[in-house]
C-alpha cells in the first residue's frame, strides 16, 4: 500500500513529518536531495490568510496554481500594533531571513533558472484537527504586493505561487492518477462530504486511512464539483473498489 494518505488528523500529520508543525510556513524541514519544505493552508471561513486554488480549467493566467499568502508578524504580548496593518517581514530584527524571506528568495531563484524549484508539501485544513494531504508542489514564483489597509495606507504582502508536482509518495501510475483526481475536488466539496459522512468510511465506519472517493470514477466522467458523487472510504474499501463503477 502506498504511504500516501489523503485525510489525516493533526497527530497523524505531525507524526508523519516528525515535526510539531506549529507554523504555517516551514522552509526546508528536510535537506539534501530528497529535501522539501511544508506549508499549511486553509480556505475555511475565518481562515487567517487568503490562500487560493486557481481552477486549472479556467482562462486565468494562474490557472492550475496554488496562490499562498505570506505570513504576518507575530502578535507579541503587550503590543498594540495590528499585524494586519504592518508589512509582512522579509527579515527578523537580527537580520536573518523569515520564512517569508526564505521562500521568496527560493522562488525568485527558481523563476530566474538559478536553481531548481523548491519542493513543497502542502497540507490543507478542512475541519478542526483534520487535514488533507494535497501532495507535493513546486515553488515557481513569488511577488510582494502592496495591499490597502486604510484610505491612504498600504502594507506589503508576500504572494507565493506553486504548481502541483508528482509526489514521491505516489509510487505507481494508479497512485499518481488518484492523487491527480483528488486534487480536483474543490475544498468546499471536501468539507461538505466530511461533515455529511461524519468523518467515517461509508462502508465500515472506520476513521483511519480515509480517502475521498468518486462514486462514478473521475476517469469515467464522474463529477467532483458537488458532494453527490464523492464519499469517504477507508484505504481497504478504496483499494477494493479500484476504478470500477458501482
| Residue finishing a domain among 118, 144, 171 | 171
Q: Is 157 helix (H, G, I), strand (E, B) or coil?
A: strand
Residue 65 falls within a domain, yes or no?
yes
Say if residue 129 is in the same domain as residue 230: no
Say if residue 167 is in the same domain as residue 189: no
| Residue finishing a domain among 122, 149, 171 | 171
Domain range for 127: 7-171
d(CA 208, CA 194): 13
pLDDT per 10-residue tile (average), the chain, 246 residues = 66 92 92 89 83 79 90 74 89 94 98 96 92 93 94 95 71 45 71 92 91 79 82 87 54
Amino acid 242: pLDDT? 59
Indicate which CATH number applies to the domain containing 109: 2.30.280.10
Residues ≥6 apart with Cβ < 8 Å to 82: none
Residue 199 falls within a domain, yes or no?
yes
Counting every residue written for the chain, the total comes to 246
Say if residue 221 is in the same domain as residue 150: no
Question: Structure pTM?
Answer: 0.81
134, 126 Cβ separation under 8 angstroms: no
Say if residue 31 is in the same domain as residue 133: yes
Tally of domains in the chain: 2
Residue 176 falls within a domain, yes or no?
no
Nine cell digits for residue 17? 513529518
Residue 118 falls within a domain, yes or no?
yes
Nine cell digits for residue 231? 464519499
Say if residue 91 is in the same domain as residue 139: yes
Amino acid at each position: 500500500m502506498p504511504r500516501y494518505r489523503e485525510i489525516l488528523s493533526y497527530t497523524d500529520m505531525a507524526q508523519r513529518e516528525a515535526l510539531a508543525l506549529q507554523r504555517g510556513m516551514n522552509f526546508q524541514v528536510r535537506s539534501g536531495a530528497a529535501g522539501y519544505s511544508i506549508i499549511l493552508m486553509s480556505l475555511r471561513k475565518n481562515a487567517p490568510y487568503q490562500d487560493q486554488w486557481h481552477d486549472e480549467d479556467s482562462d486565468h493566467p494562474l490557472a492550475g496554481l496554488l496562490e499562498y499568502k505570506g505570513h504576518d508578524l507575530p502578535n507579541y504580548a503587550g503590543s498594540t500594533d495590528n499585524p494586519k496593518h504592518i508589512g509582512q517581514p522579509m527579515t527578523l530584527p537580527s537580520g536573518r531571513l523569515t520564512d517569508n524571506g526564505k521562500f521568496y528568495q527560493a522562488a525568485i531563484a527558481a523563476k530566474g533558472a538559478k536553481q531548481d524549484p523548491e519542493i513543497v508539501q502542502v497540507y490543507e485544513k478542512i475541519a478542526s484537527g483534520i487535514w488533507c494531504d494535497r501532495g507535493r508542489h513546486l515553488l515557481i514564483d513569488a511577488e510582494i504586493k502592496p495591499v490597502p489597509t486604510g484610505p491612504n495606507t498600504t502594507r506589503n504582502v508576500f504572494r507565493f505561487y506553486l504548481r502541483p508536482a508528482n509526489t514521491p509518495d505516489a509510487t505507481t501510475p494508479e497512485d499518481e492518477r488518484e492523487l491527480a483526481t483528488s486534487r480536483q475536488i474543490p475544498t468546499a466539496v471536501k468539507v461538505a462530504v466530511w461533515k455529511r459522512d461524519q468523518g467515517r468510511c461509508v462502508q465500515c465506519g472506520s476513521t483511519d486511512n480515509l480517502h475521498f472517493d468518486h462514486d462514478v470514477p473521475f476517469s469515467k466522467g464522474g463529477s467532483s464539483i458537488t458532494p453527490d458523487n464523492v464519499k469517504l472510504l477507508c484505504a481497504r474499501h478504496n483499494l477494493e473498489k479500484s476504478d470500477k463503477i458501482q
